[in-house]
A and B are shown apart, each in its own frame.
Chain A
Amino acid sequence: MPTRRYFDQELDQLRARVLELGQLVKTELHEALRALEELDKELAKEVIASDQAVNELRFTIEDDCFKLIATQQPAASDLRTIIAVINIIVDLEQIGDKAKDIAEAISQVKRYQKVEQPSALKAMGELVASMLDQCLQAYAEGDIELAKQAASREAEVDQMLETVVSNVIEHMAKAKKEKKVTASMGILGVAQQLERIGDLVTNVVERVIYIATGSVEELNVEP
């Protein structure tokens, strides 16, 4: 008979809750990007409102972790799992915050309807969203290689940010209306949030690796 069936069930439940949080954040990001593309202020409002559920679930999971530490005296991989979860949920919540920031920027972008969203911005959003999907799948399956694949795309995100910045500067230089400049500033802000989401996904990947190996491997460090 397994000696720690209750504890194993609790750990399974903890993983399920982290994935639930991941799913909420993923939806928040996808919807924020859709709202941006369609300049849909109503959808943006829904995204902003949905962030509250992300925050609440994060604190519920944190509380679960504290209870498990206090009552089960976890060690080795059990302890690493719980400590990693405490960190992962913070990163996921911050990704949710960034998605909310993107949704909030939509009214700014919409101030000048004709402003052209750089194609790199859309590509950047799709890339970052797919990195998050891949990272969550890697966490669910404990797949280090898949996790590393997700993090390895961060450099592409950085390059896309540079492209978006140049495009935006170009637009701003040509802009004759203040509204157009404001909208361009909004786009720039969105691109920066997406770049930051890429960093946060990499943090989660580092924790997925830590759970499996016990060593902290800092990924994508600038030389």
Chain B
Amino acid sequence: MATKMTQPKIQVQDFNFFYDEFHALIDLNLAIQQNEITALIGPSGCGKSTFLRAINRMNDTISGTRAEGVIKLDGEDIYAPDVDVVELRQRVGMVFQRPNPFPQSIYDNVAFGPRVLGMVHNGNLPQMVEESLTDAGLWDEVKDRLKDSALGLNPGQQQRLCIARTVAVKPEVILMDEPCSALDPVATLRVEELMRKLAETYTIVIVTHNMQQAARVSDRTGFFWLGKLVEFDETGTIFTSPREALTEAYITGRRG
């Protein structure tokens, strides 16, 4: 685990979020460190996924929403008026709960982002595809069938393909919203191993309902309850000696 506390990759200051009148996130303050895995846990409806989507402004697509406060990426406020949201989402990629490959070939799935964002130069696309699939731990399994449909892969492979598609556009941060909830235990452990490898290059924030997954994979854990960040600390501390009684009750399964 990275222990040095340099300038955080993401700094959240007095952040609030509303769905119309509903106050979904309340006065959040936390720092997400570079090249760490930060896990967000809490019961359904506590705001953890809303917060995750706030980090790359995915919530902007929902009408009636409103954000207040600051989320800084490398010191720059991502909610500032002049921010290019498309560029932001290239820097802060997202992997969703259910694998969602496009109905195209494996190759085209990975090539999609670089093509759309104009990142292809001098025939570098095959190399970008190979590197992304390698980063996602999938290259050896698919290198001989890149032209096959992505829909023919098993769910675990499809999710790793989605991770390859995300890293293909060279993001800095990867947001993962319950990335293993549709996967079997072995596929889950493969994705978790992959996350550890990816954290050498990227900053990862993961929302998970699986507390053992948060404990296994993350460096720091934040516990959300009714829109508030109740506790945020090193994962080892949260799972052995949490400060707050509410955190204790939740992670020991006595409240949720």
Contact = CB atoms under 8 A, between A and B. Distances in A.
Interface of A: 2-4, 7, 73-80, 214-215
Given A214-B240, A214-B241, A215-B241, A76 B248 contact: yes
B253 A3 contact: yes
Given A73-B211, A76-B248, 8 more contacts: A3-B254, A3-B256, A4-B252, A76-B240, A76-B247, A77-B252, A214-B240, A214-B241
Nearest to A210: B241
Contacts of B139: none
Nearest to B237: A214
Given A73-B212, A75-B215, A76-B248, A4 B240 contact: no
Nearest to A76: B248
Contact of B240 (A3, A7, A73, A75): A75
Contact of B253 (A4, A77, A79, A80): A4
A215 B248 CA distance: 15
B251 A75 contact: yes
Interface of B: 211-212, 215, 239-242, 247-248, 251-256
**SS class, residues of chain A in contact with chain B:** loop
Contacts of A77: 248, 252
Contacts of A79: 239-240
- Across the A-B interface, give the 3 residue pairs with the lowest CB-CB distance, nearest first: A214-B241, A75-B251, A75-B239
A29 B72 CA distance: 64
A79 to B, nearest CB: 6
A76 B255 contact: no
Most buried by B among A3, A76, A79: A76
